[in-house]
Amino acid sequence: MHRVLWITEHYPPSRGGMAQSCDRIVRGLRGAGAEVDVAHLTRGARPWGVTREHGGRLISAPLGDDSEHALRRLWTTITAADLTGYTHVVAFGGVYATLAGPVLSALLDAPLVTLLRGNDIDVGVFSMRRRGVLADALRASSRVCVVARSHAPLVTALAPDAAVTFVANSVDTGQWRVLPSERERGRAWREENVGAGRRTIGLIGQLKVKKGVGFFLDALEASRHAEAFHLLLVGEVEEPVTEWLAERADAVPHSFLPFLDRYDLPAVYASCDLVALPSFYDGMPNVALEAAALGVPLIASDGGGLADVADDEIGFTFPAGDAHACRAAIDRAARAGDEELAKLGAAGAERIRRDFTPAAETAGYLAVLDSAR
């Protein structure tokens, strides 16, 4: 049986896509019989301690103002609680997990598996602050996992001998669905906020620079189809975007909603005709899987893991950073009839149900653990 020390900065009650993915993967492995102890390098005001969870333990390790002290105290906590016999150490993304991973792997005499999410490799490989830590972790790893096939060459550029495996994110379509009450909430929101004849495009999540929101807005304005859509921006929106929209409030109708927990989102997806993911680079965004699983067509770049999820069979795609192609994708979406959108949405839902399952994700990580010696 696998017994794993799992190091991460992203685990509930932390919010965001990485915490959501971490929780999902850990639950999948525990459900498959692996014992997983999660060392949560939390930024929240939580006490140090070791508590039991189903399928393992939770080691709460607040980073506080002195991360070096916190990582050293983590080792003290592990030894004081006599947490030994690990078959693997897993570093799940982030600077401090990848910093701690190689050391704890050596101290515990267990192979290191490094799980890279989007920014870990996309930005980390070009970061003066993070590159050394990342390179050390990759070279020390028995296996490296990525959520985008296009990330493998970036890993190889830093660590030519690293063994790299692609494991996709997933959605449990048996649980992820729109309830009638949520569909009604989406319909009511549209009736109150969206002008007649306009389609709603959702931009959802932590809308950082890499997500290409400003790029998409410029393309929308240049496409001359802004009047066909109402934009719904949900989550953390950067100030330049809010300023851009404020200056064009009449020409580009839009609404904002705050960052929402995952299970508040089905009603939001139900209010959208399309969801846009114009990322310059990315991991495999949960939003892409969630929207497609609910039958919402995508307007998506091929940045990172988006290329592994989306194509023109489930939406309107374009090469990342190509402004002309983005405008063309928006134009195709504007001209698409309701029947075409429904067909794209149905194809997306079927693809996610078939190819991006929690069972496949768990099996992928179990195979990695089996091969990491």
**pLDDT tens digits, residue range 174-213?**
999 999 999 999 999 999 999 999 999 999 988 888 899 9
User: What is the reported pLDDT for 262?
Assistant: 84
Q: Which CATH number fits domain 180-355: 3.40.50.10470, 3.40.50.2000, 2.60.40.1730, 3.90.226.10?
A: 3.40.50.2000
User: What is the reported pLDDT for 209?
Assistant: 80
User: What is the reported pLDDT for 15?
Assistant: 82
pLDDT at 325 over 90: yes
How many Å apart are CA 23 and CA 6, to the nearest integer? 11
For residue 285, name the pLDDT band (cuts at 50, 70, 90).
Answer: very high
User: What is the reported pLDDT for 238?
Assistant: 87
User: Are 42 and 61 contacting, i.e. CB atoms less than 8 angstroms apart?
Assistant: yes
For residue 263, name the pLDDT band (cuts at 50, 70, 90).
Answer: confident
Architecture of domain 3-170+357-371: 3-Layer(aba) Sandwich (3.40)
Provide the H-helix boundaries in the chain: 17-31, 67-80, 95-108, 118-122, 131-140, 152-158, 180-193, 213-223, 239-247, 266-270, 286-293, 306-309, 323-335, 338-355, 358-371
* Token pair in block for residue 175: 């649980």
pLDDT at 300 over 90: yes
* Token pair in block for residue 135: 């390179």
- Containing H/E element for 142? strand 141-146
Report pTM.
0.94
For residue 108, name the pLDDT band (cuts at 50, 70, 90).
Answer: very high
CATH 3.40.50.2000 in the chain, residues? 3-170+357-371, 180-355
Mean per-residue pLDDT of the chain: 95
Could you report the per-residue pLDDT of 54-102, keeping only the tens digit for each?
999 999 999 999 999 999 999 999 999 999 899 999 999 899 999 999 9
User: What is the reported pLDDT for 126?
Assistant: 92
How many Å apart are CA 190 and CA 172, to the nearest integer? 27
Q: Please state the length of the chain.
A: 373
Other residues' Cβ atoms within 10 Å of the Cβ of residue 30: 18
